Amino acid sequence: MSVLGVQGKWKISVTLLSLLLVFAVMGGVSAQDQVHLRMTVWDTATTPYWQAVVDAYQAQNPNVTVELIDIASAEYQDVVNVMLSGGDDVDVITVKDIPGYSAMLTRGQIIPLNEYIEAADIDLSLYSGAAEELTYEDALYALPFRSDIWILYYNKAIFDAAGLPYPTNDMTWNEFDALARQLASGSGADRVYGAHFHVWRSTVQLPTVQDGENIVIAEDYSFMAPTYNMITSLQADQIIMDYGELKAGSIHYSGVFKNSQVAMLPMGSWFIGSLIAAQKAGEFDFSWGVARYPHPEGVEAGTTAGTLTSLAINTASANKDAAFNFIQFYSGVEGAQVLAALGNLPAIRTPEVLEVFAAVAGVPVEAQEALQTTTVRLELPMHPNVGAYEQILNQEHELIMTNSVTVEEGIAEINRRVAEEIGD
């Protein structure tokens, strides 16, 4: 049984219905010419928020209809590239990732939104730095509507057994290191690890860019050395699982967390929904919580990294003004409340929006505060060659974590390859 059960579901339904009614009463663009917008999205059958936000918008703007062009997620960017290259006049383009965003804007396939944003007096600070991360050469080509951030998951049963307090929302990486060492216990198959770092390069490299002084597009990557030293030391001391074994066994982070093999797990907010579903299905029965992502010394608590999903306008659209009115709603507070009511983290996370999210059945009580951010750094920043950088970083990350090279050797190799293979 979920935490809120039938009553909780009823409250969520009422909240969503109330939002729709408020939007309808408020009204919007009305008594104008009929407008039909087309919007590219993916996987509508498994992603209910696409249509829910459209419904809320159309309730407020009855003269506008929005048609969703559904594309398989795995093929999304390739299909959109073909559409735009062929001159398709689809109006609104959902931007799935930074490499796709970079490619579309450098080809002139999406328009800058600066004049629209200024005319509409949109407060970009509501996006906690996400709008700045999408800005390229002083122009913003998309407005973010969904933003998953990195947070810290923890197993309350392991903390209780160790007699240690739960992680706070203001914990440095050094404090995280010390706490993980206190939590590790047992041996062999009964070993409980203090923390867990999945095999992705981002699990190690994201903490190195939280200060905002460094990004993963660089010439000198020596700023990554302290974090690599900390995590390879945790691995050598068996405080975290061995990277090589995780890789060879294709061991997923969700399994080790649900099996109570790890006490703390830095991971994206997308894992909340998976955990809720798994617990509801009886896959595990311990209590778990979330806290803000740990931060380096001197960096404000609530600073984290994230991924963005945003909306852009096709250069070939014949309905640019109407398209902007739609994406302003979708990426604004009203759209955010609809997203949150369905258990999704929107790009705007005001206390009011997070209150709606926290009311979703199964969300930990700590989430409302843990999910509040001060700054969100992008996993991959906007850059024309971001794909080439990512390939080098992925390859050298694996060599470092498997102890094929030392941290110093690996970083020196990154520096050399970036200079020789990219050289911009």
Instruction: For residue 71, give Cα distances in angstroms to 48, 145, 358.
Output: 14, 19, 30
Q: What would you report as the CA-atom Rg of the chain, rounded to the nearest whole angstrom?
A: 22
Q: Are the C-beta atoms of residues 57 and 29 closer than 8 Å to each other?
A: no
Task: Report whether pLDDT(359) > 70.
Answer: yes
Mean per-residue pLDDT, 64-88: 94
Tell me phi and psi for residue 152, to 5 degrees: -115, 120
Task: Report whether pLDDT(20) > 70.
Answer: no
| Chain mean position to CA 87 | 31
In the chain, pLDDT over 70 holds for what percent of residues? 92
Task: Report whether pLDDT(281) > 90.
Answer: no
Question: Torsion-angle region of residue 206: left (phi > 0), alpha (psi -120 to 50) or beta?
Answer: alpha
- Single-letter code of the amino acid located at 43: D
- Those residues whose C-beta lies under 8 Å from the C-beta of residue 189, and which sit 6 or more positions away, are none
Which residues does residue 69 pair with via DSSP β-bridges, in sequence order?
40
Closest by Cα among 245, 29, 194, 7 to 120: 29
Task: Report whether pLDDT(24) > 80.
Answer: no
What value does the mean pLDDT of the chain take? 89
d(CA 197, CA 314): 39
d(CA 78, CA 146): 21
Which of 63-72, 120-129, 195-204, 400-409 is the least confident region? 120-129
Q: Are the C-beta atoms of residues 304 and 152 closer than 8 Å to each other?
A: no
Structure tokens at 198: 């999945």
DSSP-assigned letter for residue 411 = H
Provide the residue count of the chain.
424
d(CA 349, CA 358): 11
DSSP-assigned letter for residue 295 = B
- Those residues whose C-beta lies under 8 Å from the C-beta of residue 418, and which sit 6 or more positions away, are 218, 219, 221, 389, 392
Burial (CB < 10 A; 0-12, 13-18, 19+), residue 138, is exposed
Task: Report whether pLDDT(161) > 60.
Answer: yes
Highest mean pLDDT among 307-311, 348-352, 410-414: 410-414
Helices (H), 219-312: 225-236, 243-248, 253-258, 271-280
d(CA 219, CA 281): 48
Find the farthest-apart pair of alpha carbons in the chain and give their distance in angstroms, rounded. 71
Task: Report whether pLDDT(9) > 80.
Answer: no
- Single-letter code of the amino acid located at 110: I
- Those residues whose C-beta lies under 8 Å from the C-beta of residue 217, and which sit 6 or more positions away, are 381, 383, 385, 386, 389
Task: Report whether pLDDT(21) > 60.
Answer: no
